């Protein structure tokens, strides 16, 4: 039985897990404790890990079935690994997403079945920039006044990726207020990056409401920023959070491995 500690960040979400070597298989009791901590804190991070791609995929399986990312990538030995990087080799990128900033979003919300759990492992990081921030959708919803909660419950919104080729032929819609399937708590589920419009509203009225909700949900009191170190593994729950990445100097290398779980059921 593994002994470990869960140390909250002291911010709106997130906790550090101390005392686990993720190169080793975990017993059922440890996995159960991790799942409970994950649902409590929405984001967990583990520092100083020295794991292989196979280790990352095995650890991911404790929380669901890791699947290849929907975006194309070069052939790779373990297809469940999605490389996030700005590095090029022989004139070709080794991964995706470059060095620019990425606005707040919930992973793959532009698909009918969005991402559930995402995990990201840091191999190389820039000297400055490239941090990731997470926002707590539970806290944001609960801080709304009752009239606004009533107004937005039952609304839906269209989610689209800025790269049109990644979108499905039919518009993808999700509730503006989503109920987490495990905790039963309600969460604001819109983002500046992937939410296109609110359905059933005049465009200007809907955009004004969307802007108001996004400004509220991304307020600093609901946000925690992670400063990456080599060997960090971070996992987050896309059903109750959104996240963004700050830009960094493209002359600096940033290399990450990511795995992805789909499905609305239990982690």
- Do 103 and 178 lie in a common domain? no
In angstroms, the CA 169 to CA 174 distance is 16
Residue 17 and residue 112 share a domain: yes
Q: Could you report the per-residue pLDDT of 217-261, keeping only the tens digit for each?
A: 999 999 999 999 999 999 999 999 999 999 999 999 999 999 999
For position 73, what pLDDT does the model report?
A: 76
Range of the domain at 177: 137-217
CA distance 43 to 223: 11
Residue 189 shares a structural domain with residue 230: no
The answer, yes or no, to whether residue 206 has pLDDT greater than 50, is yes
pLDDT for residue 25? 96
Q: What does residue 89 show for φ and ψ, rounded to 5 degrees?
A: -135, 130
Q: Give residue-wise pLDDT tens across range 69-101.
A: 887 777 788 999 999 999 999 999 999 999 999
Query: CB neighbours of 174 closer than 8 A, spacing ≥ 6?
Result: 109, 114, 156, 157, 159, 189
If asked whether residues 77 and 206 sit together in one domain, one would say no
Residue-wise DSSP of 195-257: EEEETTS-HHHHHHHHHHHHHHHTSGGGEEEE---TT-EEEEETTTEEEEE----TTS--EEE
31 and 106 inside one domain: yes
How deeply is 204 buried, as exposed, middle or buried, from its count of CB atoms within 10 A (0-12, 13-18, 19+)? exposed
Q: From 133, 258, 37, select the one nearest 20 (Cα to Cα).
A: 37
Q: Which of 220, 44, 243, 217 is nearest to 142 (CA)?
A: 217
For residue range 6-63, what is the model confidence (pLDDT) as tens digits?
999 999 999 999 999 999 999 999 999 999 999 999 999 999 999 999 999 999 999 9
* Residue 165 in domain: yes
Phi then psi for 264, rounded to 5 degrees?
-90, 0
267 falls within a domain: no
pLDDT at 184 over 90: yes
Structure confidence by residue, pLDDT tens digits, 117-172: 999 999 999 999 999 999 999 999 999 999 999 999 999 999 999 999 999 999 99
Give me Rg for the CA atoms of the chain. Answer: 18
In a domain, 88, yes or no: yes
What's the structural domain count of the chain?
A: 2
Q: What torsion, rounded to 10 degrees, do the Cα atoms 12, 257, 254, 10 define?
A: 10
Residues 51 and 23 sit within 8 Å (Cβ to Cβ): yes
Same domain, 119 and 169: no
Q: Where are the beta strands (DSSP E) in 87-237?
A: 88-89, 92-93, 96-97, 102-105, 115-124, 132-136, 156-159, 172-175, 177-179, 186-188, 195-198, 223-226, 233-237
pTM of the full structure: 0.95
Question: Could you tell me if 191 and 172 lie in one domain?
Answer: yes
């Amino acid at each position: 039985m593994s002994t470990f500690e869960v140390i909250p960040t002291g911010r709106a979400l997130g906790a550090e897990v101390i005392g686990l070597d993720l190169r080793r298989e975990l017993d059922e009791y440890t996995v159960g404790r991790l799942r409970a901590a994950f649902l409590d804190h929405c984001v967990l991070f583990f520092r100083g890990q020295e794991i292989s791609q196979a280790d990352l995929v095995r650890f991911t399986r404790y929380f669901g079935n890791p699947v290849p990312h929907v975006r194309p990538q070069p052939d790779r030995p373990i297809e469940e690994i999605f490389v996030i990087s700005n590095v090029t080799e022989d004139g070709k990128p080794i991964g995706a997403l470059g060095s620019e900033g990425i606005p707040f979003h919930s992973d793959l919300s532009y698909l009918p079945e969005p991402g559930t759990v995402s995990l990201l492992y840091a191999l190389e990081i820039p000297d400055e920039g490239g941090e990731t921030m997470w926002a707590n959708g539970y806290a944001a919803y609960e801080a709304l006044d009752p009239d606004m909660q009533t107004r937005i419950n039952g609304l839906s919104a269209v989610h689209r990726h800025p790269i049109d080729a990644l979108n499905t032929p039919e518009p993808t819609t999700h509730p503006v207020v989503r109920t987490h399937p495990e905790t039963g708590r309600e969460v604001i589920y819109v983002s500046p990056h992937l939410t296109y419009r609110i359905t059933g509203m005049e465009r200007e009225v809907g955009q004004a409401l969307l802007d108001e909700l996004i400004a509220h949900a991304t307020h600093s009191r609901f946000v925690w920023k992670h400063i990456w170190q080599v060997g960090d593994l971070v996992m987050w729950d896309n059903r109750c959070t959104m996240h963004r990445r700050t830009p960094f100097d493209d002359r600096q290398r940033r290399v990450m491995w990511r795995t992805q779980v789909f499905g609305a059921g239990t982690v």
